[in-house]
Copies of this chain bind each other. A is one copy, B any other.
Amino acid sequence: MLNHQQLYADYKQHLQKIADIRYSAAVLQWDQETYMPSGAAAIRAQQVATLTALAHEEATSTVLGDWLQQLKEVKELTIQEQKNIALSLYDYEKQKKYSNAFVKKLSQVTSTAFQSWVAARKQNDFTIFEKDLDTIIQLKLQEADLLGYEQHPYDALLNDYDRGATVADNDLYFATLKEELTPLLKHIQERPPINDDFLKQNYPKQEQWDLGMELLGLMGYDLHTGRQDIAAHPFTINFGNTDVRITTRIDEQDLTNMLFSTIHEGGHALYEQGLLSENYGLPLGEYSSIVVHESQSRLWENNIGKSLPFWEFYFPKLKARFPNQLQKINVTPFYKAINKVAASFIRNEADEITYHFHVLIRYEIEKALLSKQITAKDIPAVWNEKYKHYLGLTVPNNALGCLQDVHWSHGSFGYFSTYSKGTAMAAQLYATFLIDNQSAKEKVTEKEMWKLLSWLRVNLHTFGKYYNTEELCKHISGEGLNVQYLMNYLKNKFLDIYK
């Protein structure tokens, strides 16, 4: 074996070891959310922390740094190998910027903050969470300084969820969105409301579960390398691409809750199952960015799961499963009901239009916090003012307002905008797919779904982290992320529904 081949093999083995440790921690977390007895919580937190610290040690070890510096200069590596090295080096240098003291401090604060957020939300009292949140914001500002940025401290954090994203780009993105969706929402609000009462009947648990499993099967989710369980919050988690699990929750008085969360998580899971085993542990074996991940879940949830062509195919089967509940309903009123637009307080229950305002509000607040224009204590007032301004809603309490999301207690600043941008990317991807797959405009059956999955596998999944969000959009559709695809999609769809 040549020297550089041995070097690359050593590097690969080291990264796979790190992956083994990180995925092991993920198994412990999955177990924690699904089957772990409650008395195990304290020791489990310690076990996860030990594995996380071990992975961090290995990811910042001097020997890895040396190998990466040497491999960076090796011209004989393949393009893919070179990309792995470049991405690993980038990650290594980034990780090295974090002192152990900082990592420990952030870990301690977010651990406490999660508890205080839970209590604050339960007791509907923001002040319980305020002090911890303030500490987290201070640490995130320190983190931005420590990571470095060109224009805005928020850039350093956005980059964590979407390589290369900046406040400048996001401002432009949200400006277009705001400009175009505001009149669209106004138009919709002036139309007569859609009836969706029949979605809120009793839909028994087992039947809903079976429906979810059938849909996952239709999408191409592989149970040989995956499984679904019940958990308090739906999520996707994976331990390599041969074990990609999702969870769901079932509300017997609401069909759509399980329905769209299962399709959403299924979309995430298909992405992870589509990564290449041969790249296990390497950057090219990982997802590109959170925006891209979200594009996959939102594509299946919205562009397929909330589309008329899909329900033209699937509604008869749904009706056969729930003959009493849907007795008098045809496909069109069903399609309209699942797409009903109505301003509401909770982001993750929002329709396809108002959803983006929920995200926009969080983006604006995070930006203001990281620009030091406001501090933690100002959040409730600013939040409520923005909900009034953008959605015309008077927030009745903080539990339905600024305490609804877990993200800030985790220290995840910069995450929210990926929800909107992922949705925009989904629209762009699906428009591109439709160019060569016109039949899917009429009806989406198993056949069209298999075509879509194959197309995503070939054009997106198998690339892993090779491209970032912008590059991936260009590779697939010939241009970077363009919000106009989403605007066109939403206008066409909702001007038709709300004629």
Interface of A is mostly: helix
The distance in angstroms between the C-alpha atoms of A46 and B225, with both chains bound, is: 16
CB-based contact B225/A37 at 8 Å: yes
- A245 contacts which chain B residues (CB < 8 A)? 37
- A73 contacts which chain B residues (CB < 8 A)? none
Q: Determine which of B17, B36, B39, B47 lies in contact with A20 in the assembled complex, contact meaning CB atoms within 8 Å.
A: B47
A388 CB–B CB distance under 8 Å:
no
The distance in angstroms between the C-alpha atoms of A121 and B444, with both chains bound, is: 49
CB-based contact A47/B242 at 8 Å: no
- A35 contacts which chain B residues (CB < 8 A)? 35, 227, 229
A 14-66 contacts with B by CB, 8 A: 16-17, 20-21, 23-25, 27-28, 31, 35-40, 42-44, 46-47, 50-51, 54
CB-based contact B37/A227 at 8 Å: yes
A122 CB–B CB distance under 8 Å:
no
CB-based contact A37/B239 at 8 Å: no
CB-based contact A39/B243 at 8 Å: yes
A271 CB–B CB distance under 8 Å:
no
How often does this chain occur in the complex, in copies? 2
A212 CB–B CB distance under 8 Å:
no
A36 to chain B, nearest CB (A): 7
Q: Interface range on chain A: under 10, 10 to 19, 20 to 34, or 35 or more?
A: 35 or more
- A31 contacts which chain B residues (CB < 8 A)? 27, 31
CB-based contact B224/A39 at 8 Å: yes
CB-based contact A21/B51 at 8 Å: yes
Q: CB-defined interface of A346-388 with B at 8 Å, one 1/0 digit per residue?
A: 0000000000000000000000000000000000000000000
A172 CB–B CB distance under 8 Å:
no
CB-based contact A47/B28 at 8 Å: no
CB-based contact B224/A43 at 8 Å: no
- A411 contacts which chain B residues (CB < 8 A)? none
- A21 contacts which chain B residues (CB < 8 A)? 50-51, 54
A111 to chain B, nearest CB (A): 16
The 7 closest A-B pairs by CB, nearest first: A40-B243, A20-B50, A39-B225, A39-B224, A43-B240, A20-B47, A40-B242
CB-defined A-B contacts under 8 Å, sample of 12: A23-B43, A23-B47, A24-B50, A31-B31, A37-B226, A37-B227, A38-B224, A39-B224, A40-B239, A40-B240, A43-B243, A47-B240
